[in-house]
Structure 1
Amino acid sequence: SPPPDVEFESAVELAAAADAVVVVVGTSDRAESEGVDRTGLALPEGQDELVRRVAAVNPRTVVVVNAGAPVALPWRDEVAAVLLSWFPGQEFGAALADVLLGRAEPGGRLPTTWPDRAEDCPVLSVTPVDGALDYAEGVHLGYRGWARRDGPAPAYPFGHGLGYTTWSYEALDATAVVRAGESAQVNVTVRNTGARPGRTVVQAYLSRPSSGVERPALWLAGFAAVDAAAGQAVTVPVRLTGRVFEHWRPAAAGADAGWLAEPGAFELRVGPSSASLPLGTTLLVTVDD
């Protein structure tokens, strides 16, 4: 095959002459696999340079990221769009064409937080020392760790995802009092404010700033997908199980280990991602004597 510099020049030349460009980047089993830890978050083998050189000659560049876990995207503000495909199967080509051409909605939402830079991560070192790994973050792992710290925001927060339309969050209705161990139902009204049908995922998070036990700054309590036509408002129920209000109590003198509800006020916030929660209310959890 031609040397890398020749391939780069060819890609740039083709991109400059094209109406639009699709660049597929990502990892492989050489970079990430079961039982193998990555040494960093950067895309391997000069892919960042490829994206930047192509985007420099064609502003209509779409980058498809084919990876199984978060990677750094230092060029994300230099391209027209970024599409995360994960590790797709044999119908990847047909599915990608449907999404890029607008025949299908890219309706997924991130189950992980994607940092702008690796060094921004609340937890970065996961290498055991003397055969042991200290999980010092405790309950504050993943997006929960990001939510409790002051510092740079992630590139893409937990729960983030866009489609081919836009949404507004208009109303939140929830039962004010919840008995411990019982579920609560929250009704959220969202409106499709774009020009075509679409799908969004309504996400509900809980927090409790004043608590007698250590808790995350916020935690995902429930979610629901909703489809709506252009301009349509839809009210979607989001169920919060009794467990999301509980914490784990380790075994102690005179008490068995188990899940326990702490009575009092919990703050409920709702929105399209963990970093965008425009609606809110207070739920009061009561415990029978």
Structure 2
Amino acid sequence: MRRLSVFNLTTLAFGLAFLYLPIAILVIYSFNDSRLVTVWGGWSTRWYAVLLHDRDLLAATLNSLAIALASATLATILGTMAALALTRFGRFRGRMLLSAMVYAPLVMPEVITGLSLLLLFVAADVDRGFSTITASHTTLTMCFVTIVVQSRLVDFDRSLEEAAMDLGCPPLRTFFSVTLPLIAPAVAAGFLLAFSLSLDDLVIASFTTGPGATTLPIRIYSEVRLGVKPEINAVCTVLVAVVATAIVMASLLSKRGAAAPGLPGR
């Protein structure tokens, strides 16, 4: 087994510190008693209490949660259907085009995606708001759901479906009774990943938002430009906790789905 050198360990430590030390400082200073965010005044949860009375931030938080929940649900449904099409229907006509369209948001810069969606909504004379952000986030996150579910379907034992249909089970009922329960961890992991990606998106939401549909990242960005308030540290800590929890749950569910046996539990 190859050992890590001192240089490799040092580089790894500096890399992890560069990524996570600012987040740790933000979390610590969210419990700062001082109004000055750069001056430590002792431990306190006062800014979390103040946050509960900030109507603008609470409204933006509710908007972000609602948009993330709606877009993640749509992305999970569409992504699962795309994964089934790419793994079950073989080399059908248009498969390459479908794959390219599904995976394009993975490599497309978010600025380009946001601008193209903005031009689409303007050309279609669609009022920008909750629905346009939800549609945009669905477009962004569907490809991630497709990848997660497709990786589970590649190793799926199709003899279970064939056995169910040989016993007279219709294809649709076979999917809901046999296939879906076995790929449920991957579907849930895709949902949580889509939820976290939608919750912290700023670029695409800033292009497709409208009056009354301000998301939490947009609200935080607009307030930070005028100076960081202690409440911002508190709400960012809450956002980090929610996103981290969703990512950890998605990772655990994905590993559970990959390690699941071919036969359902008895």
TM-score interval, smaller chain? under 0.3
Instruction: Tell me which of the two structures has the higher relative contact order, counting C-alpha pairs closer than 8 angstroms and 6 or more residues apart.
Output: 2
Which has a greater percent of strand?
1
Which has a greater percent of helix?
2
